[in-house]
């Protein structure tokens, strides 16, 4: 296929449909090395991919209104072309209908699709364009209208009610801001915003975190932003920026990030710790460990962090204990659907039974690694009770030597409203315009 934005988007979407791998990973692979004619084409391709996945169920409903052929029997490339075309017509106001249709059909022709097929796609897209007013007036179930699986819609309606669920579903389908965490030891938020503005990037201070910057309409690759190579900032949502401070008050000794991943919270914690303090970061995945090392090097933190390429259980049994332990646990990710739209299609009710078992197992291991009087912080990017407060309650029932403490006093004043009645951090996309996060601060008794 050619290196036009539509062709690249269709190719990535075909890979996603076939391989069932995370969309971020497939997009990074699919966009790498592409010789786009215009630098803006990369952003358009990414917007097409995420937009189609975000509105997938609604797009398929629209296509089904105009196609006599069942969608399940369509060739993958044909179906993705229709989705890309319909998405442009109904959701991308900046793209003229003629360009949306003609360029999508041109991508199919470049892929040497038969004339009858390109004619079918061309005709269907033109019919959608003519009938878009009728589509807007259709009465649809919330799961179709907002492109969420029915099991999740039912779940949220039972917990939040119909009105708030409608707001949450709609918010999930809005493109998220790009949020940066500035290293205030190297620069200031004001200087970083000014430098971004000089490069034509509009940015504003964060709403909850003093080191945060929001870019509401990001353009291009993060690596191209001024200050990236110098280690001025790390990409991190404000909700995630509130987790590492919960390990305070910090003192000399050793701290542990038991689920480091790519290092968003690892690097934040390393920047918060006193100079003589050692941070250990556990990450058993070799690809993620490599990216973690790259982030640490770029931010000038490689000498502050000891990385461990094994499972958390490997640290147990040696008598090693830490003043603070962070468990940013594997979870359903249902709180970050806005940022990762494919999660809604990759999860099911069984995941809310599976993940808590993993989370409790990690906490049980971590409990033995916390020194008397030390802090254990448990965090997820989920708003689901089974993964959040219920896991904490089960952990505390099994570990009477730990107590939950109030997270509020350790957060910036602007974030006071993000703490629930139990003193846990609990953010929601529709209420706070943040990723949906949860964090509990647990202290081991000194005696």
Catalytic positions are 381
Q: Is the dihedral of CA 87, 89, 94, 95 positive or negative?
A: positive
Structure tokens at 163: 């009105």
Write a three-state SS string for 40-89: HHHHHHHHHHHHHHHCHHHHHHHHHHHCCCCHHHCCHHHHHHHHHHHHHH
Other Cβ atoms less than 10 A from the Cβ of 83: the count is 26
Residues 6+ apart with CB under 8 A from 152: 143, 334, 344, 347
- Euclidean distance between CA atoms 18 and 20, whole angstroms: 6
Of the candidates 248, 212, 239, the residue with the CA atom closest to the CA atom of residue 410: 248
SS3 376: strand
- Euclidean distance between CA atoms 173 and 169, whole angstroms: 7
In Å, how far are 54, 86, 113, 257, 308 from 315, measured between CA atoms?
A: 40, 52, 56, 12, 9
């Amino acid at each position: 296929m050619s290196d036009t934005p539509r062709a690249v988007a269709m190719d990535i979407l075909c890979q996603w449909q076939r391989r069932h791998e995370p969309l971020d990973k497939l997009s990074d692979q699919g966009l790498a090395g592409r010789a786009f004619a215009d630098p803006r084409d990369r952003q358009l391709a990414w917007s097409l991919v995420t937009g189609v996945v975000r509105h997938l169920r609604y797009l398929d409903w629209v296509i089904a209104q105009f196609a006599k052929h069942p969608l399940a029997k369509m060739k993958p490339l044909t179906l993705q072309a229709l989705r890309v075309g319909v998405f442009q017509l109904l959701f991308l106001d900046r793209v003229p209908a003629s360009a949306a249709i003609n360029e999508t059909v041109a991508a199919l022709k470049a892929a040497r699709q038969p004339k009858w097929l390109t004619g079918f796609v061309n005709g269907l897209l033109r019919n959608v364009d003519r009938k878009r007013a009728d589509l807007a007036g259709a009465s649809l179930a919330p799961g179709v209208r907002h492109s969420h699986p029915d099991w999740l819609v039912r779940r949220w309606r039972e917990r939040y009610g119909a009105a708030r669920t409608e707001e949450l579903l709609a918010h999930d389908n809005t493109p998220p801001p790009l949020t940066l965490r500035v290293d205030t030891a190297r620069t200031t938020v004001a200087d970083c915003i000014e430098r971004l503005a000089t490069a034509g990037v509009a940015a504003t201070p964060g709403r909850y975190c003093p080191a945060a910057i929001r870019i509401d309409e990001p353009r291009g690759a993060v690596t191209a932003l001024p200050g990236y190579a110098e280690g001025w900032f790390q990409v991190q949502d404000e909700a995630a920026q509130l987790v590492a401070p919960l390990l305070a008050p910090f003192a000399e000794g050793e701290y542990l990030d038991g689920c480091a991943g790519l290092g968003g919270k690892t690097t934040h914690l390393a920047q918060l710790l006193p100079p003589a303090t050692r941070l250990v970061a556990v990450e058993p995945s070799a690809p993620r460990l490599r990216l973690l090392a790259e982030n640490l090097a770029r931010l000038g933190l490689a000498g502050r962090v000891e990385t461990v390429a094994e499972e958390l259980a490997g640290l147990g049994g040696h008598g090693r204990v830490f003043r603070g332990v962070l468990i940013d646990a594997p979870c359903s990710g249902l709180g970050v659907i806005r940022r990762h739209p494919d999660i809604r299609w990759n999860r099911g009710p069984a995941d809310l039974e599976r993940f808590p078992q993993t989370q409790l197992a990690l906490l049980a291991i971590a409990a033995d690694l916390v020194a008397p009087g030390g802090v254990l912080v448990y965090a997820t990017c989920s708003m689901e009770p089974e993964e959040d407060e219920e896991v904490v309650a089960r952990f505390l029932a099994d570990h009477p030597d730990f107590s939950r403490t109030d997270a509020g006093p350790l957060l910036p004043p602007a974030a006071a409203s993000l703490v629930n009645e139990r003193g846990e951090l609990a953010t929601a996309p529709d209420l706070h315009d943040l990723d949906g996060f949860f964090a509990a601060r647990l202290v081991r008794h000194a005696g």
